[in-house]
């Protein structure tokens, strides 16, 4: 190219270094989720069990004050590891977590694919890792509000309402179990949701897929279990696997006669497969071969 | 002056399909036009430049640094993609500020830079409207705004004038030229020669993934001028029109089109032909209705250069 003299004006832009480049993605995602009225409704419904269990803790400690003499209530309202497992691995909370994922997570990557937005992200100082962290942090935020936060609040309330540290002396590991199981459930749902969200440009399709796979895996388990009475079919069900691992984390009897290690392996394998699919699907430029 | 963008034997294959082959080039500050028909490799080149594709072979640097996975380089690059890349439900302001936040600016800087960029592209008055309600021209200008908002040194514009009306084109051309005059490196792709001609005199011609020619636009124009041009003239009196030109030595061929009242002229001197046609059209009996140049486009030049 012939060299032509041109005036050169010194660039006065700034080279900024940031420690958390994913944060704007997270903030934007949380803000957009709360703009959806169905999500807001689901989010508040998913907090209902936490309030119910909180009332349960209070009632368990103050049951003598109320002079409640209802048959059996004292055994139901025993705040022990089983109480925590009932909250964390209960059907309702797992279902509500799924609904939160469907309403807040189905479009996280699908919308970017639909809007060709990935190339704009990746033409900026943002790595793929930052992008995934930003998206996953949205889901982690919502899931934490219905898992680890209520779990720790339960422990604190139990100590306050009982007026002693005996509960912690009896179960010193309960805090770690709450944090550990919350982390596992959150990680699993985040990987699962992001992976499904990346397989299509259509948010509705990914929402249906998220819901269907979860429900279908449980239905499949039900059918096989009813036919063969073999508990190992529980490994087919996402919900059953989460409940098995939940029971192990809270040191209570597992609902199915299968080692929780297998269930954990299934969940971790699903996370690994999701990570692989995500890595393959999320590219700045769609290359059609 | 040192090269801002430098590539060496840059090649990219998509499986068995060749995207770009053996491109060695240096691009300096100012506006450079990347010309080529659809499928020539322009977008592949841009995707390599912005680090979104990994080269199969060869190297690529911007300001002496490799681009891929180099966030330092990305801070100095602005990309305006060919396709629309909007969240339709966001307003122009939200779209721009969200992207600026990814550059690492704080809230006040984001607002100031978004305001400035929207001002440059004359969209300030419409910043609160959702992108869905924007016209095509406004969308193109918004895309340009997001490419320049973070004050990049290198701006890459992939077919920025596509589908714009003449007024919209003129506005955007002015904006791009202003940006180039500031000493930045602007790379603009197009498959339409006059669009690039309006922007810059420095061009890179791509064809089938290879560099066909690099140089001043005048060279390309010369190629057109030494190659016969085809000019179609529609008239209600086509035979009288043909008779008027048939004696001229620069008219090589005259062909009547059956379906329309058009005459196709093949001429070696387009300027003289148009001069004569203008005088003829001014005559009361001329009845010239339309003049088009079916081969006055890049494809014709390419066909000539590659000998097809």
Closest CA of chain B from A251, distance in Å: 44
In degrees, rounded to 5, the angle at the alpha carbon of residue B18 between the alpha carbons of residues B14 and B21 is 120
Q: Where are the domains of chain A?
A: 23-208
pLDDT beyond 80 at A128? yes
Q: How many helices (H) and strands (E) does chain B have?
A: 11, 14
Tell me the pLDDT band of A7, cut-offs 50, 70 and 90: very low
CATH of the domain at B287: 3.30.70.100
Contacts of residue A5 in chain B, CB cutoff 8 Å? 1
Mean of the per-residue pLDDT values of chain B: 85
Q: How many CB atoms lie within 10 A of CB B42?
A: 25
Q: How many helices (H) and strands (E) does chain A have?
A: 15, 0
Pair (B34, B119) in one structural domain: yes
Say yes or no: A141 contacts chain B, CB-CB below 8 A: no
Contacts of residue A10 in chain B, CB cutoff 8 Å? 183
Mutate to test the interface with A, among B35, B49, B104, B219 (most CBs of A within 10 A): B104
Pair (B56, B110) in one structural domain: yes
Across the range A280-285, mean pLDDT stands at 79
Chain A residue with minimal CA distance to B110? A24
Verify whether the Cβ–Cβ distance A125 to B103 is below 8 Å.
yes
Verify whether the Cβ–Cβ distance A21 to B102 is below 8 Å.
yes
Across the range B99-105, mean pLDDT stands at 88
Q: Per-residue pLDDT tens for B115-160?
A: 999 998 889 999 999 888 998 888 888 998 999 999 899 999 988 8
Pair (B80, B116) in one structural domain: yes
Verify whether the Cβ–Cβ distance B74 to A125 is below 8 Å.
yes
Contacts of residue A115 in chain B, CB cutoff 8 Å? 84-88
Q: Which of residues 80-119 of A touch B (CB under 8 A)?
A: 111, 115-117, 119
Say yes or no: B270 contacts chain A, CB-CB below 8 A: no
Number of domains in chain B: 2
Comparing B193 with B283, the larger pLDDT belongs to B283
pLDDT of residue A4: 36
Closest CA of chain A from B197, distance in Å: 16
Q: Which of residues 84-113 of B touch A (CB under 8 A)?
A: 84-88, 98-99, 101-105
* Strand-pair partners of B152: none
Long-range own/partner contacts, residues B133-141 (CB < 8 A, 24 or more apart): B134/B92, B136/B163, B136/B164, B136/B168, B137/B164, B137/B165, B137/B167, B137/B168, B137/B171, B137/B172, B138/B92, B139/B84, B139/B86, B140/B164, B140/B168, B140/B172, B141/B168, B141/B171, B141/B172, B141/B175
Pair (B59, B173) in one structural domain: yes
Say yes or no: A35 contacts chain B, CB-CB below 8 A: no
Verify whether the Cβ–Cβ distance B28 to A126 is below 8 Å.
no
Pair (B281, B254) in one structural domain: yes
Chain B residue with minimal CA distance to A110? B87
pLDDT of residue A8: 44
Write the CA distances from B248 to B119, B235, B251, integer angstroms: 53, 19, 6
Q: Measured between CB atoms, which of B47, B83, B215 is closest to A1?
A: B215
pLDDT of residue A208: 96
Closest CA of chain A from B254, distance in Å: 39
Closest CA of chain A from B203, distance in Å: 8
Pair (B21, B153) in one structural domain: yes
Q: Per-residue pLDDT tens for B30-87?
A: 999 998 887 888 888 988 988 888 899 999 999 888 888 787 888 889 999 887 777 7
Chain B residue with minimal CA distance to A115? B85
Pair (B122, B42) in one structural domain: yes
pTM value? Answer: 0.77
Q: Per-residue pLDDT tens for A158-199?
A: 999 888 888 899 999 999 999 999 999 999 999 999 999 999
Query: ipTM beyond 0.90?
Result: no
- A203 CB contacts (<8 Å, ≥6 apart)? A106, A107, A110, A111, A114
Tell me the pLDDT band of B196, cut-offs 50, 70 and 90: confident
Pair (B212, B240) in one structural domain: no
Pair (B106, B215) in one structural domain: yes
Say yes or no: B83 contacts chain A, CB-CB below 8 A: yes
B187 contacts B46 by C-beta, under 8 angstroms: yes
Work out the end-to-end distance of chain A between its first and last CA atoms, rounded to an integer number of angstroms. 33
**Burial tier of B208 (Cβ tally within 10 Å: 0-12, 13-18, 19+):** middle
Say yes or no: A19 contacts chain B, CB-CB below 8 A: no
Verify whether the Cβ–Cβ distance B81 to A25 is below 8 Å.
no
Q: Measured between CB atoms, which of A2, A5, A24 is closest to B98?
A: A24
Last residue of a domain, one of B207, B222, B237: B222
Comparing B300 with A47, the larger pLDDT belongs to A47
Verify whether the Cβ–Cβ distance B146 to A16 is below 8 Å.
no
Pair (B43, B139) in one structural domain: yes
Pair (B165, B115) in one structural domain: yes
User: Which residue shows structure tokens 């043909």?
Assistant: B242
Say yes or no: A61 contacts chain B, CB-CB below 8 A: no
Question: Where in the sequence is the domain holding B197, given as residue range(s)?
Answer: 5-222
Contacts of residue B72 in chain A, CB cutoff 8 Å? 15, 125
B251-257 and B210-216 beta bridge pairing: unpaired
A23 contacts A126 by C-beta, under 8 angstroms: no
pLDDT of residue A1: 42
Verify whether the Cβ–Cβ distance B202 to A1 is below 8 Å.
yes
Chain B residue with minimal CA distance to A288? B14
Nearest Cα neighbor of A54 from A164, A149, A167 is A149
pLDDT beyond 80 at A83? yes
Last residue of a domain, one of B222, B244, B267: B222
User: Which residue shows structure tokens 């339960």?
Assistant: A154
Chain A residue with minimal CA distance to B215? A1
Comparing A15 with A91, the larger pLDDT belongs to A91
- B116 CB contacts (<8 Å, ≥6 apart)? B149
Q: Measured between CB atoms, which of B52, B98, B216 is closest to A284?
A: B52
- Range list of H helices, chain B: 42-49, 71-74, 92-102, 107-120, 136-148, 166-181, 193-197, 217-225, 238-245, 270-281, 298-306
CATH of the domain at B86: 3.40.50.300
pLDDT of residue B16: 80
Say yes or no: B283 contacts chain A, CB-CB below 8 A: no
């Amino acid at each position: 190219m012939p060299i032509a003299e041109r005036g050169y004006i010194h660039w006065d832009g700034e080279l900024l270094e940031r420690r958390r480049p994913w944060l704007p993605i997270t903030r934007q995602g949380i803000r957009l989720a709360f703009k959806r009225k169905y999500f807001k409704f689901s989010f508040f419904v998913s907090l209902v069990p936490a309030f119910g269990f909180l009332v349960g803790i209070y009632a368990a400690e103050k049951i003598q004050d109320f002079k409640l003499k209802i048959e059996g209530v004292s055994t139901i309202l025993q705040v022990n590891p089983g109480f925590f497992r009932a909250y964390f691995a209960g059907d309702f909370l797992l279902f509500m977590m799924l609904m939160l994922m469907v309403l807040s997570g189905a479009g996280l990557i699908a919308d970017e694919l639909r809007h060709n937005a990935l190339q704009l992200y990746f033409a900026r100082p943002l790595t793929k890792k930052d992008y995934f962290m930003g998206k996953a942090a949205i889901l982690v935020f919502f899931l934490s509000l219905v898992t680890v936060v209520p779990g720790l609040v339960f422990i604190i309330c139990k100590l306050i309402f009982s007026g002693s540290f005996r509960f912690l002396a009896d179960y010193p590991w309960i805090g770690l179990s709450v944090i550990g199981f919350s982390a596992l459930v959150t990680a699993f749902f985040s990987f699962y949701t992001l992976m499904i969200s990346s397989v299509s440009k259509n948010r509705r399709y990914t929402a249906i897929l998220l819901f269907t796979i979860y429900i279908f895996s449980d239905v499949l388990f039900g059918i096989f279990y009813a036919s063969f009475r073999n508990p190992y079919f529980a490994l087919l069900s996402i919900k059953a696997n989460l409940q098995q691992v939940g029971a192990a984390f809270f040191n209570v009897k597992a609902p199915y006669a299968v080692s929780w290690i297998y269930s954990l392996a299934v969940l971790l394998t699903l996370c690994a497969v999701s990570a692989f699919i995500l890595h393959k699907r999320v590219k700045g430029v769609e290359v059609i071969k | 002056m040192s090269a801002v963008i430098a590539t060496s034997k840059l090649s990219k294959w998509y499986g068995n399909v060749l995207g770009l082959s053996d491109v060695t080039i240096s691009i300096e500050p100012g506006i450079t036009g990347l010309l080529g028909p659809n499928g020539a490799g322009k977008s592949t080149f841009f995707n390599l430049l912005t680090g979104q594709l990994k080269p199969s072979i060869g190297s690529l640097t911007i300001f002496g640094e490799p681009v891929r996975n180099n966030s330092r380089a990305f801070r100095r690059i602005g990309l305006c993609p060919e396709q629309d890349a909007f969240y339709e439900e966001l307003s122009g302001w939200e779209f721009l500020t969200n992207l600026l936040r990814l550059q690492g600016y704080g809230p006040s800087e984001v607002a100031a830079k978004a305001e400035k960029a929207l001002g440059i592209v004359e969209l300030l008055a419409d910043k609160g409207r959702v992108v869905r309600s924007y016209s095509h021209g406004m969308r193109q200008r918004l895309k340009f705004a997001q490419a320049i908002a973070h004050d990049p040194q290198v701006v890459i514009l992939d077919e920025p004038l596509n589908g714009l009306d003449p007024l919209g084109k003129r506005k955007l051309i002015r904006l791009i030229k202003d940006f180039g005059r500031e000493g930045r490196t602007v790379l603009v792709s197009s498959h339409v020669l006059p669009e690039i001609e309006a922007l810059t005199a420095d061009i890179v011609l791509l064809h089938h993934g290879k560099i066909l020619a690099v140089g001043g636009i005048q060279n390309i124009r010369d190629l057109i001028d030494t190659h016969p041009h085809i000019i179609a003239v529609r008239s209600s009196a086509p035979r009288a029109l043909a008779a008027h030109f048939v004696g001229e030595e620069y008219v090589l061929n005259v062909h009547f089109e059956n379906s329309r009242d058009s005459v196709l002229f093949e001429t070696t001197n387009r300027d003289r032909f148009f001069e004569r046609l203008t005088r003829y059209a001014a005559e009361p009996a001329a009845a010239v209705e339309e003049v088009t140049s079916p081969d006055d486009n890049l494809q014709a030049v390419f066909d000539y250069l590659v000998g097809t």
